[in-house]
Structure 1
Amino acid sequence: MNLTHEVAPASPLVSIVDDDPSVRSSARRLLRSSGLQAEAFASGDDFLRSEFIERTDCLLLDVYMPGMNGLELQQRLTEMGRRIPIVFLSAKASEEEERQALQGGAAAFLHKPARQEALLQAIRAAISNASL
C-alpha cells in the first residue's frame, strides 16, 4: 500500500507595501480572491523587518510613502541581494521615477487607479518570469 501524498504547492505570496490603508485592504482582498497569498505593510521598514521578506514572490509597491519611499526600498533590496519581482503602483510618480523603477529592475509600473485585471496580469507575469 502506497502512502505517499502529493503536497500541493503553496500559492505565491504577494507583499503589498503602501501607506494608504484602503489600497492595502483592497489589494489584499483582490489578490486573495484570485488565489494568491497576500500580506500588507504600511512602510518599507515594516516589510524589511518582517518574516515575509524571505517568502515574498512578488512585491506590490507604492512610490510615495513617508520615510523610505518605494524607489529607496527597491534599491535597498538590490543592495541586500534580494531579487524579488516588483510591480509598482503609484498615483503621482513622474516619468523620471517610472523610468528609474524600470531601470532598477521593476517588472511593471502601473498608475493608480489601475484596472484589477491589469494589476493581476502584471503580478502573475512578474511571478512567472521570476521562476524562469
Structure 2
Amino acid sequence: MSYPDPQFSSIAIVDDDDAVRVGLRSLLRSYGYEANAYDSALAFLASGALGDYHCIITDLQMPGMSGIELLERLRRDGNPLPVILMTAFPEAALRKRAFQGGASCFLSKPFEANELLLCLKQASGSHNTTAEE
C-alpha cells in the first residue's frame, strides 16, 4: 500500500453524484488521505475551505459550474492547486481544454484505484504543470 506524502494529503472531492463522492472518499481514506466531499463546484467555493486542500478531484459535468469552469476560475484567480478532472464522457476536445487549462490529470469513468493513485502522485510532484496528451 502506498501512503500519501504528508505535504500532499488533503483532497477535496467535487461531484454531484452521491455514490461517487462516498466511494472516492472511502477509497482515498483507505490509502491514508484526508478527503472531504462537496456536491457542486459552487458549494465547494462557498465553503471557504479552498486553502485547506492540496488537490481537487472533480467531475467534469455538473450543474451550475462544471469541473473545467472550476479549474479555469482557480487559474484566473492565480490558484495553482492541482486539479484532477474525471468524466464518463471523455471527449477529445474536453480533454484538450482540460490540459490547456492546467489540469493535472484527466480520468475516464469508470477508472481503477491505481489510475487515481497515479494521478495523485503526478499531481503531488508538480503543483502547476500541464500533463501531456
TM-score in terms of structure 1 length = 0.87
Q: Are 2:8 and 2:124, in contact at CA under 8 Å, matched by a contact in 1?
A: no
What per-residue deviation string (whole Å, max 9, x for no partner) do you get for residues 75-114 of structure 1?
Answer: 1111111111011111013210110001111111010001
Q: Look up the match of 1:52.
A: 49
Structure 2 stretches of 5 or more lacking a match?
A: 1-5, 129-133
Provide the C-alpha distance between the structure 2 equivalents of 1:96 and 1:47, rounded to a whole number of angstroms.
26
- Of 59, 63, 66, the match for 1:66: 63
- Of 102, 110, 116, the match for 2:99: 102
What per-residue deviation string (whole Å, max 9, x for no partner) do you get for residues 22-48 of structure 1?
Answer: 000000000011011101011001111
Q: Give the aligned residue type for 2:76.
A: E
Question: Aligned with 2:25: secondary structure?
Answer: helix
Aligned-residue sequence identity (percent) comes to 37
Provide the C-alpha distance between the structure 2 equivalents of 1:115 and 1:94, rounded to a whole number of angstroms.
19
Q: Give the aligned residue type for 1:47.
A: F
* Structure-to-structure mapping, 1:114-129, within 5 angstroms: 114-129=111-126
Q: Are 1:91 and 1:111, in contact at CA under 8 Å, matched by a contact in 2?
A: yes
Q: CA RMSD in A?
A: 1.7
Q: Look up the match of 1:16.
A: 13
Structure 1 stretches of 5 or more lacking a match?
A: 1-8
Provide the C-alpha distance between the structure 2 equivalents of 1:10 and 1:125, rounded to a whole number of angstroms.
14
C-alpha distance 11-75 of structure 1, shift in aligned 2 (>3 A): closer
Q: Are 1:14 and 1:57, in contact at CA under 8 Å, matched by a contact in 2?
A: yes
- Runs of 4+ aligned structure 1 residues displaced above 3 Å come to none
Q: Give the aligned residue type for 1:44.
A: A
Question: Aligned with 1:101: secondary structure?
Answer: helix
Provide the C-alpha distance between the structure 1 equivalents of 2:33 and 2:111, rounded to a whole number of angstroms.
18
TM-aligned CA deviation for residue 130 of structure 1: 2.1
